[in-house]
Amino acid sequence: MSKLPVTYADVEAAARRLAGVAHRTPVLTSRSVNQLTNARVFFKCENFQRTGSFKFRGAYNALAQLSPQQKQQGVLTFSSGNHAQAIALAGQLLGIQTTVVMPKDAPEVKLAATRGYGAEVILYDRAQMSREELAQELSHERQLTIIPPYDHPQIIAGQGTAAKELIEEVEHLDLLLVCCGGGGLLSGSAIATKDSTAKTTPTSPYCRVIGVEPAQADDAQRSFYTKTLQVVHNPDTIADGARTPSLGKFTFPLVLHYVDEMLAVSEEAIARQMFFLWERLKIVVEPTGALAAAALLEGIITMPEARIGVIISGGNIDFKRLKQYEQLLTKEA
Amino acid sequence: MSKLPVTYADVEAAARRLAGVAHRTPVLTSRSVNQLTNARVFFKCENFQRTGSFKFRGAYNALAQLSPQQKQQGVLTFSSGNHAQAIALAGQLLGIQTTVVMPKDAPEVKLAATRGYGAEVILYDRAQMSREELAQELSHERQLTIIPPYDHPQIIAGQGTAAKELIEEVEHLDLLLVCCGGGGLLSGSAIATKDSTAKTTPTSPYCRVIGVEPAQADDAQRSFYTKTLQVVHNPDTIADGARTPSLGKFTFPLVLHYVDEMLAVSEEAIARQMFFLWERLKIVVEPTGALAAAALLEGIITMPEARIGVIISGGNIDFKRLKQYEQLLTKEA
């Protein structure tokens, strides 16, 4: 196997760049969850991260490493979600102009948040062009560096710092559950947990790392088990962070190398466990943020007496969609 | 003025009883809230307290002080809300039998939670009898000690420990905002903040303490300004913790003595700011828990550059009521 594109040293370097800039997010525990799962469960709460999701870690790590010329020319990204806000804030903090390509039907609240952090937003029509093409064109025209949402070594290394903090805080894990869209958070988390080259800070090398997807967007699970990249098109899931078409050229080999298993959960399970987390932990978690917890709370994976880490990836809810989530529950009951 | 029924020494003693039993809840801050209010705002998050609200503090403090005989005979309370669960858990931890009188139309989720902590629940028909009468009768018949939800010196002292922790953590406050139902949390908080007899731990004696009620249940505000106890009957507010008929014989004199001002907020403001807290702080806050924050976030009270404490009293949401809360927003927009 060829050399992997990201190592523990990259995650450590990212952690140094993020110190004092990203929040060291809290780790929450719950008696009722421990009882229900017969395990000790540690929730790493990236919904409390700046911009409301883990995405800030990777975005800042990538932008901080641009050359002076690149910084001066500015960056561009394409995202309708959390990565857009993360790039916008990282740019604001580092004094870098940011341009974000978003679909013109993106939620008003996300457009406003991205603009609020000082990004220029360029809208496009999903029906007429692909965001990648438009981004390529704009980047060429305006000399902007593209920072993609997940398939980028510095993005992956940055996302790995959340799991690194979790392991430093709770010391040992038998199982780590991580949601999976494009695989940036999952591969970064797996490196932070299992890379045996880690020297200076603790890892959990025997910890099982499991990625969790929506059943309606299970491309990564299929890629993992067939060892051939599978693609989905506009999957219909409330977990909007997992609507990515496929793993990437960096994340796929990392997932294959480090991840032990891939699981999928239904839309009903995502909604049910999202509300369960709201109700029991008193924290606001977005649908994608509930994916990893859902696999555990639904009993799809069990590990009696184990120490289990669960990454809550974000908490950016569009409250206009609450009704849709509630309807999923009603359907079930 | 006659001697007040609760002093700082009582709050300190309560804090000692609660050490290692109650959670020392987190204090959250938010850049966007600070910017919006032009102040430094500290949210004391009792939604993360055991049973999901501050009520556990008072309940445990009261039950821990019962005589051996009273403990053996058991206790009784009347509450359809957070106090019921708090008494049930405190009883479970202290090995005391608990009986809770609840209306038979109380939400199923609250009945289940109260029973889950081992309490015996006795249902009554609101139309046919008063809960106080039924409680008196049962207490006499079964030799149970009644622990009322707020008008009790040990309950008040226990509730004061939240503000005590807040001041210890942030050191100085210019303003403290506290929701007000029966006045247990408000008077306890005011004692913890302003009682000049405090010797061993810091207070903020010049801090303004303001109580906040729903406009549709503004009995305490009217009592405060007329200096005569005012009563409301079944006020129609989403802030169910503030549906209490009036201040009590212990809480009224304490509120009159210590509190600087009373404010009221509309139903729309409660719903709007509850969702704002969910969205920005990523925490689940119940309507009553959003009262104090709403007065600040709606600009009803302003104090430029000040250090402002806000008590988030609880996070027990009946998710079946979400639609009702959302409708209040739609009405507004």
Based on DSSP, count helices (H) and strands (E) in chain A, helices before strands: 14, 10
Q: What is the pLDDT of residues A219-248, one digit of tens each?
A: 999 999 999 999 998 899 999 999 999 999
Write out the two tokens for A257: 């190398």
In this prediction, residues B324-332 reach a mean pLDDT of 79
Residues of chain A falling short of pLDDT 70: 1-2, 331-333
Q: How close B47 gets to chain A, by Cα (Å)?
A: 7
Are A254 and A190 within 8 A, CB to CB? yes
Minimum Cα–Cα distance from A109: chain B residue? B279
Question: pTM here?
Answer: 0.92
| B79 in catalytic set | no
Higher per-residue confidence, A210 vs B125: A210
A312 chain-B contacts, CB cut-off 8 A: none
Q: Give the strands of the sheet with A261-265, arranged side by side.
A: A27-28, A40-45, A307-312, A175-179, A208-214, A261-265
Instruction: Read off the pLDDT band of B2 (50, 70, 90).
Output: low
The bridge status of strand A27-28 relative to strand A40-45 is: antiparallel
Query: How far apart are alpha carbons B291 and B213 in whole angstroms?
Result: 7
pLDDT at B34: 97
- Provide the H-helix boundaries in chain A: 8-18, 31-37, 55-64, 68-73, 82-94, 108-116, 131-142, 153-170, 184-194, 219-226, 251-258, 267-281, 291-297, 322-332
pLDDT at B80: 73
Mean pLDDT of chain B: 93
List C-alpha distances in Å: B235 to B128, B141, B288. Answer: 19, 32, 13
pLDDT at A128: 82
The SS3 assignment for B78 reads strand
Query: How far apart are alpha carbons A140 and A138 in whole angstroms?
Result: 5
pLDDT at A2: 55
A282–B48 C-beta distance less than 8 A: yes
A319–B279 C-beta distance less than 8 A: yes
pLDDT at A331: 63
Are A37 and A177 within 8 A, CB to CB? no
Confidence check: pLDDT of B1 > 70? no
Query: How far apart are alpha carbons B3 and B289 in whole angstroms?
Result: 31
In this prediction, residues B86-112 reach a mean pLDDT of 91
Write out the two tokens for B114: 């109260």
Instruction: Read off the pLDDT band of B322 (50, 70, 90).
Output: confident
Side chain identity at residue B113, one-letter code: A
A322 chain-B contacts, CB cut-off 8 A: 322, 326
List residues of chain A with CB under 8 Å from any CB of chain B: 26, 47-48, 52, 275, 278-279, 282-284, 315, 317, 319, 322-323, 326
In this prediction, residues B58-82 reach a mean pLDDT of 95
- Selection from A296, A22, A29 nearest residue A165 by Cα: A22
The SS3 assignment for B310 reads strand
Query: How far apart are alpha carbons B128 and A166 in whole angstroms?
Result: 55
Instruction: Read off the pLDDT band of B333 (50, 70, 90).
Output: very low
B323–A275 C-beta distance less than 8 A: no
Query: Percentage of residues in chain B with pLDDT exceeding 70?
Result: 98
| B80 in catalytic set | yes
Query: How far apart are alpha carbons B106 and B104 in whole angstroms?
Result: 6
pLDDT at B283: 98
Query: Percentage of residues in chain B with pLDDT exceeding 90?
Result: 81
In this prediction, residues B41-50 reach a mean pLDDT of 98
Concatenated DSSP letters of A258-273: H--EEEEE-HHHHHHH
A282–B315 C-beta distance less than 8 A: yes
Q: How close B31 gets to chain A, by Cα (Å)?
A: 10
Query: How far apart are alpha carbons B194 and B19 in whole angstroms?
Result: 22
In this prediction, residues B43-70 reach a mean pLDDT of 98
Within its chain, how far is the Cα of B190 from the centroid?
13
pLDDT at A1: 45
- Of the candidates B53, B80, B187, B313, the residue annotated as catalytic is B80
What is the enclosing helix (H) or strand (E) of A209? strand A208-214
In this prediction, residues B277-294 reach a mean pLDDT of 97
A279–B47 C-beta distance less than 8 A: no
Which among A151-165, B133-147, B186-200 has the top mean pLDDT? A151-165
Please, which residues have CB within 8 angstroms of residue A251's CB and are 6 or more apart in sequence? A150, A151, A156, A182, A183, A184, A186, A187
- Residue B100 has phi, psi (to 5 degrees) of -125, 125
Q: How close A112 gets to chain B, by Cα (Å)?
A: 14
- Of the candidates B44, B53, B55, B194, the residue annotated as catalytic is B55
Q: How close B44 gets to chain A, by Cα (Å)?
A: 14
Query: How far apart are alpha carbons B37 and A244 in whole angstroms?
Result: 38
For tokens 């109700």, name the residue.
A279
Please, which residues have CB within 8 angstroms of residue A16's CB and are 6 or more apart in sequence? none
Query: How far apart are alpha carbons A25 and A45 in whole angstroms?
Result: 6
Confidence check: pLDDT of B314 > 90? yes
Query: How far apart are alpha carbons A262 and A57 in whole angstroms?
Result: 24
Instruction: Read off the pLDDT band of B129 (50, 70, 90).
Output: confident
Instruction: Read off the pLDDT band of B331 (50, 70, 90).
Output: low
Q: What is the ipTM of this complex?
A: 0.90
- Domains of chain A in sequence order: 8-53+153-332 (3.40.50.1100), 56-146 (3.40.50.1100)
HSE, CB side, 13 Å, CA atoms: give it for residue A80.
Answer: 21
